[in-house]
Structure 1
């Protein structure tokens, strides 16, 4: 293959140098960084100027008048180059309003929306004492943010009134002209907490680097289009690959496949979702029909391959958080393991038996090819789900009137919450992300436990499973199957898994006692 010409090398070197300079000025002061801004800090004018006015409005909270009230809007964000997890906070974030008392706080905006629940969770959310607001340790991926709207009184705990001041952070800059001083504290391991200046546009250096980068990209693109083709990326391979199996893992796998093919021209990846055991069976048939051909098939399973499949080579990709859901009209939010078993073995057939609404219990199950069903049977039921399908759509026993329970089946994780949300009194199970998206279902907390994407928080939560990737034999080095399987450990793939509330095994493989260990 001919070497690139001098002009191409110089353009590429200039582009790399520009990118390095931008990265240095953007991230050098600390790869992990929580930034905050004061978007608003203003008095609430309640008293009219005309002392003889017939209208004298007052601001009350729980029957007490709030005098000289102010509203502050704070924005916190991950403005560094690395994700931040709970363990990174050696001391939680705090916001202290000198000379003022915190009356209440709300979370008007957060990205992702799951942060709202973490910030307001009973017993572990936002709390305040006097003028000090303590913010819980919440994970922040790159560019995640949340806003806090704080209502304050100018009277401190001793009833004294205080006037103007400035905003400052621990070790950070200060500004003035607003009532009351704000001190933001905390300690981030391997990083920093800083106040971000309010900017209406990019900084001059960033703008200049952006212009140079655009010019160099255009120059390099023109040279490459008119010159010899460069070498393929180290992570890229061409060809066709089929990924089939778990419907619970299909949505993140589809996103990961799209990211890979966007980077690697000439790669075609088809993602199907026929069910864990169906995917393993299809892999086995492909092996028997073409034993000498390199693997062009990946099977995705919620459970380890049964003994009848003797040859597949597997690796653990991630931990899926699963959950139980009920129709929103059942009036039930918590169930013990024993109550769940009573529903599925026919002892509990009405929600009134469990303190719920006047509705019969209807079970929405998965077919026998589902790995999620096997995980449910193993982790929750400690036995088998009934195989009897007594109903076509769970509205009544229209298939088997003599059955002990009303039970229908669906063929994918995505369709189960939709069916549960449509059928009054229905109950079922699905992966946590699919369940959380449906507004017509209520997520049941088994034994009062909440799932948590931070694996350290999973103690006592019973319903999860490991996702496996299987090939027949080890993929040939340099093949699309080998390259794509390696791509599952990349930062891009791990962030996609976290988006779907899965725990990447690449983060857990070395942890003692990890579900992803060997």
Structure 2
């Protein structure tokens, strides 16, 4: 073995120093970090001095005149190295505009777009009083950001109308294990990281050229390579697909295919894959809205979340609330027209799920307290073309999306689905159940009855280091939890936020 030459030593030393500087800048102040920048803070000139005798302009908002108005545009972003969840906020973000009063605030830009709804929702969104603006505790994955456009007026005697620069903007708040800091326009943390990263790349190239065939491989502890199939619940497929995409983005060489054949169908496919797998567990996971039947003795499940479900009706039915007793009357044929329940004169059209659906099992268990009638009187949900003697039109579909499509198409349609998907579907409205609405912030309440626990099943214990084991562990990460919250699910990894003991075995 020969000693490294001078050029190699210098390149290696430069790489180490640059990497240390980058790590100190990036991680030492706290991996949880919110950066903010005041991108604009300017007066709105409404009275032209040279033409004041000819014209006078006024700025009105909701028929109220605003004097000495200013506009401020602020950008907030997660520029640290770790995702930020609601529990990380010990004190919410606040913005103080000294010498000014907040008139209104809008969210002109956000990534992801779902942040807009979190920031502006009624009862829990942006609040302002006087010159103080309070920002709700919204989760921010790495590189997520949002902008706030604030309209202000100068307080009397503050001198805001003389054309001088607007008063100072002060941002406050406190993050556990992190910090909030102002990013300068000229040399922000991202540009500094990019600059140091560029130097690192140059030095790595130099060092690689000097060492020729020597390679350094950095392995992420949470990553594994290979191919994995996740199958089961159609209601849980959208967040699972997004979580899988995030894992693949972090872990090159991993491929995760998400199918949605239904909860019980997914459990059956996992059992079959495990039986035929040579010498160990298969590269297969099953997601189910219900616990696996006792016949699947080799399957081992973990509770990953509480999924909120909703009764949905076609927007033309004219109802927005039903009791569980009224629902049982609809499904056993006592009510055949919506006018019997205070709605419009339309025949009831029941859209059900097939026997493989875990959502159907949850509906039967928590709401109907019995089996959903098995008579299928319609092939396409629009009329009794299969059984003309049936009291009510009823069809069955095999997925959440198909159910929502059918309810939206049938004027008197009713069905059940996962809350997030239902809220985004046209011509379909969620209804209150016993006067209650599903809410992710429900904590320990049991007053809303329609929810279920989501299980992630493996065939026995997956082998340590396998893609199945690594991905199962990734379900407890901050990234996965934030995605579950986005879809209005309650992560079981945050057991304090789960309803009662639902996430405990």
**Which bracket does the TM-score occupy, shorter chain normalised?**
0.7 to 0.9
Q: Which residue of 1 aligns with 2:439?
A: 451
- Does the C-alpha gap of structure 1 residues 474 and 139 become closer, same or farther in structure 2, counting only changes over 3 Å? closer
Distance between the aligned counterparts of 1:236 and 1:187, measured in 2? 32
User: Corresponding residue for 1:83?
Assistant: 83
Q: CA deviation at 1:491?
A: 4.9
Contact 1:449–1:460, Cα closer than 8 Å, also in 2: no
> Hey, what does 1:427 align to over in structure 2?
414
Out of 464, 469, 473, the position equivalent to 2:460 is: 473
Structure 2 SS opposite 1:485: helix
Q: Select 1:400's aligned residue among 381, 387, 400.
A: 387
Unaligned runs of 5+ in 2: none
**1:401 alignment partner, SS class:** coil
Seen in structure 2, the aligned counterparts of structure 1 residues 442 and 277 have a Cα distance that, compared at 3 Å, is same
Q: SS where residue 110 of structure 1 aligns?
A: strand
TM-score calculated relative to the size of structure 2? 0.82
User: Aligned partners of 1:265 and 1:26: how far apart in 2?
Assistant: 23
Q: CA deviation at 1:223?
A: 9.1
Equivalent pair of 2:85/2:482 in contact (CA under 8 Å): no
| Correspondence for 1:416 among 386, 400, 403 | 403
* Helix, strand or coil at the partner of 2:165: strand
Q: Distance in 2 between matches of 1:10 and 1:493?
A: 42
Tell me by how many angstroms 1:14 deviates.
Answer: 7.1
Q: Calculate the aligned-residue CA RMSD, in Å.
A: 3.9
Q: Is the 8 A contact 1:451 1:458 kept in 2?
A: no
1:283 is aligned to 270
**Contact 2:376/2:396, CA 8 A, preserved across alignment:** yes
Pair 243,130 (structure 1): closer, same or farther in 2 beyond 3 Å = closer
In structure 2, the residue corresponding to 1:148 is in which secondary structure? Answer: strand
- Tell me by how many angstroms 1:17 deviates: 6.1
Cross-structure match for 1:375: 362
Q: Residues of 2 paired with 1:227 and 1:413: CA distance?
A: 52
The alpha-carbon deviation at position 246 of structure 1 amounts to 1.7
SS at match of 1:22: helix
SS state of the match for residue 269, structure 2?
helix
- The verdict on how the C-alpha distance between 1:193 and 1:244 changes in structure 2, with shifts beyond 3 A counting, is closer
Change (3 A) 1:243 1:164: same
What's the CA shift for 1:61?
A: 3.7
**More moved, 111-120 vs 507-516:** 507-516
1:162 and 2:158 aligned: yes
Q: Helix, strand or coil: the match of 1:116?
A: helix
**CA apart distance, 1:58:** 2.6
SS in 2 for 1:90: strand
Could you say which residue in structure 2 is the equivalent of 1:313?
300
CA distance in 1, matches of 2:251, 2:303: 24
State how far apart, in whole Å, the 2-side matches of 1:119 and 1:10 are: 51
What is aligned with 1:506?
A: 493
| TM-score (norm: length of structure 1) | 0.80
Partner of 1:272: 259
Q: CA deviation at 1:369?
A: 0.4
Q: Deviations over 1:62-108 (max 9, x none)?
A: 44332222222233333333333333333333333333222222333
Alignment length, in residue pairs?
A: 498
Partner of 2:93 in structure 1? 93
Unmatched 5+ stretches in structure 1: 166-175
- Any idea what SS the aligned residue of 2:503 has? coil
Task: Name the CA shift for 1:133/1:499 in 2 (closer, same or farther; >3 Å).
Answer: closer
Question: 2:52: which partner in 1?
Answer: 51
C-alpha distance in 2 between matches for 1:342 and 1:227: 74
